[in-house]
Structure 1
């Protein structure tokens, strides 16, 4: 909440400016939880999803085809870095936000570790001994 008023900067992860996922990255870093960088990766880092009706402060909420993320600050409100030309702010969850809602997660260190393991497996080189069959 103390980041309110800092300008939105695409790709920003510091007090010079934040984008939506950069703000969440730094907030959870302060809590000792390392999140992936982008909103899509942050959503994918946790298998347990939270429904709109079960949102609690600290939950990450995702909108618009995983193109935006905010954090529930209190019931019915979120803090986020909205878009270029705006600043980090708290806003009421509107009907429009409800319609754009994709899902939510409740970050925990275990979930992030599982996500990192999946990413490492994807990066492993493919064996040169593979043979294609028809």
Structure 2
């Protein structure tokens, strides 16, 4: 090797990082996919998946559910612990939700805390009604309104995040032609 560094070959340029070009709608799609599913949505999906399962007094398994057993297992699947009975579930949350403020995933209580269901969509709940029936989704009737004691929201942060996600979904795609990452 010659003095002064002669004879050293210049270093080859490093390979540039691969680039990805995305359109505005593709950027929005990536943003939407990064939003985690809130606990209330996991719980609701669980409860809705159990439609047709028989009511079993004291049940909290695939063989059958009573009303509070269904709520217990649905929220357990979402990582939120609930007490066993409807009255205990109601009492476990200090913040109560009014009829007019019900959102999907809220637990709704009726008949002197003798029954609980979960709001599935505006005006409907999923529940395990009584002996001889099955887990089902049903419209909140006027009779239910009269028997309503109160409601609780086991996943308030998830409800807020879902509202933000819904706003993101409704928003137009970013006003850009492309983005290279």
- TM-score, reference length from structure 2: 0.59
- Equivalent residue for 1:54, pick from 87, 101, 114: 101
Q: Which has the larger radius of gyration?
A: 2
Instruction: Point out where structure 1 has 5 or more consecutive residues left out of the alignment.
Output: 110-134
Pairs aligned (count):
109
Looking at secondary structure, tell me which structure has more strand per residue.
Answer: 1
The residue number in structure 1 matching 2:122 is 75
- Equivalent residue for 1:32, pick from 62, 79, 85: 79
The residue number in structure 1 matching 2:149 is 102
State the shift of 1:57 in Å. Answer: 0.1
State the shift of 1:108 in Å. Answer: 4.0
Cα displacement string for residues 22-81 of structure 1 (whole angstroms, at most 9, x for unaligned residues):
000000001100100000000000000000000000000000000000000000000000
The residue number in structure 1 matching 2:3 is none
Distance in 1 between residues matched to 2:50 and 2:155, nearest whole Å:
22
SS in 1 for 2:79: coil
Q: Is 1:63 the counterpart of 2:88 in the alignment?
A: no
Distance in 2 between residues matched to 1:33 and 1:104, nearest whole Å:
16
Distance in 1 between residues matched to 2:91 and 2:155, nearest whole Å:
13
SS in 1 for 2:109: strand
- Equivalent residue for 2:68, pick from 21, 24, 30: 21
Looking at secondary structure, tell me which structure has more helix per residue.
Answer: 2
Structure 1 moving runs of 4+ over 3 Å: none
State the shift of 1:3 in Å. Answer: 0.0
The residue number in structure 1 matching 2:139 is 92
Distance in 1 between residues matched to 2:155 and 2:79, nearest whole Å:
9
State the shift of 1:101 in Å. Answer: 0.1
SS in 2 for 1:50: coil
